[in-house]
Structure 1
């Protein structure tokens, strides 16, 4: 049996779930570890339920068997004498790692941020991952009404999701880099406007006060800042992003899935290159992404699909 550890925010959870579906497709017995990361007090939540994703969860005993995590006295003594007998395997780097498929039984950790990890179940995932009305359960009626109104606006326009991520990206610039500059966003807006002059931009961010001022200082035209959501209701943002006809992504797995879930066959998607500073992330890009450098240069022009 194989186990994939689920960790991170919704975008990372979706990549891990996609690998889970690929391994199942290959005939492997695989489960998800949803307790190690989310079984304790944590500021992030497991949110795959919002997309009706179904998976089998590993028990603590099954996790312990693959990670040699038993805490009884004999196990602790044996580990001191002979070392840990673990089947744990961590994804090698930020690019596709074929070893992920060659290890079994295995306890997998990583973010698996590439379509290559689920190439055989692409169409299955597009059919399975759907936002139902369950996303409105348990949230205030005023927020539900606001989200439904945003969705009507998005569906009725040549809508573009523009994602600005701050927060942890500001706290750890050495990790996340500075790929998403103002020049990057200006180039993305210009590229889409040249092809869709009537484009309406819907701005998603975890720092609305700063982003509102930034938009006013750097852009003109039809921009709507999405308000009302927070860390606990991020799935609402992802739903709205995926309903937009085009995307200007941040270097974020959340942005990535907002674009990937977009069903528009003629969508335009811009992505920052490099993705994370000086770390190579070549496999995160999908066919047709318009790659834009921090200075606003277009590095790759190709439609995601052609007529």
Structure 2
């Protein structure tokens, strides 16, 4: 069985190398919904260059939790944005690309302002975490992430409606679990004093602010 797998991998490498199989961009998806959104965005930026992009979802099969293994990480992107289209990479494709064409993100072990990966051509496997100047990602972000309230359950439809009707709606996300400590890709967690000052500032400077809070629990993101 192992011999057959090695033979398949070897054959696939050659087919990609000599472009018998069209080379692709594979983007690793992991983490929570915000990470998923940005990783999908990276893929779309490469797609706009005319490249074929597929996604690696093995994280959600093999791990699917935070770094402390306390809080769940589900693949929720298509639940939140069902209008998005994405193709999933095969196991064989993932194995070959991770081994031969891996590129580590410029925000994985610290923020590095090196955006040369954007000039890479397929085949390429984009792993880890990335950051980009807003002028590059913001236009694409605005064009692809559309909230479709019709896909919400009754409770979330009511919340969405109330948010839209309020003069000033303010989302407050309280990070917990593995992000309660400093992590290079995310930075230091916000302190209680930060939340207190930010909320006080909005009460003093915004007319009738409407706050809604969310956090992670063992089932995913919830409003509190």
Give TM-score, length-normalised by structure 2: 0.70
Question: Please, which of 187, 192, 198 is the counterpart of residue 208 of structure 2?
Answer: 198
Query: Using the alignment, how far apart are the partners of 1:27 and 1:177 within structure 2?
Result: 34
Shift of 1:162: 1.6
Query: Using the alignment, how far apart are the partners of 2:25 and 2:114 within structure 1?
Result: 16
What are the ranges of 5 or more consecutive residues in structure 1 without an aligned counterpart? 69-85, 137-143, 208-228, 238-307
Aligned length: 184
Contact map agreement 1:4 1:31 (CA 8 A) in 2: yes
String of CA shifts for 1:233-274, please: whole Å, max 9, x gaps: x3x76xxxxxxxxxxxxxxxxxxxxxxxxxxxxxxxxxxxxx
Give TM-score, length-normalised by structure 1: 0.52
Shift of 1:167: 2.2
Query: Using the alignment, how far apart are the partners of 2:97 and 2:216 within structure 1?
Result: 37
Question: Please, which of 191, 199, 206 is the counterpart of residue 181 of structure 1?
Answer: 191
Q: Which residue of 2 aligns with 1:126?
A: 142
Shift of 1:133: 4.6
Query: Using the alignment, how far apart are the partners of 2:169 and 2:32 within structure 1?
Result: 25
What are the ranges of 5 or more consecutive residues in structure 2 without an aligned counterpart? 1-23, 65-71
Contact map agreement 2:179 2:189 (CA 8 A) in 1: no
- Root-mean-square deviation (CA), in Å? 2.7
Shift of 1:127: 2.9
Q: Which residue of 2 aligns with 1:44?
A: 73
Alpha-carbon spacing, 1:90–1:177, altered in 2? closer, same or farther (3 Å): closer
Query: Using the alignment, how far apart are the partners of 1:169 and 1:201 within structure 2?
Result: 22
Query: Using the alignment, how far apart are the partners of 2:198 and 2:118 within structure 1?
Result: 36
Query: Higher mean Cα deviation, 23-32 or 36-45?
Result: 36-45
Query: Using the alignment, how far apart are the partners of 2:190 and 2:197 within structure 1?
Result: 11
Contact map agreement 1:193 1:199 (CA 8 A) in 2: yes
Question: Please, which of 167, 172, 177 is the counterpart of residue 167 of structure 1?
Answer: 177
Runs of 4+ in 1 over 4 A off after TM superposition: 176-179
Alpha-carbon spacing, 1:189–1:10, altered in 2? closer, same or farther (3 Å): same
Alpha-carbon spacing, 1:96–1:18, altered in 2? closer, same or farther (3 Å): farther
Alpha-carbon spacing, 1:156–1:168, altered in 2? closer, same or farther (3 Å): same
Alignment partner of 1:206: what SS? strand
Shift of 1:115: 4.4
1:102 aligns to 2:131 (yes or no): no
Alignment partner of 1:44: what SS? coil
Q: Which residue of 2 aligns with 1:7?
A: 30
Query: Using the alignment, how far apart are the partners of 1:189 and 1:149 within structure 2?
Result: 23
Contact map agreement 2:45 2:140 (CA 8 A) in 1: no
Query: Using the alignment, how far apart are the partners of 2:101 and 2:56 within structure 1?
Result: 14
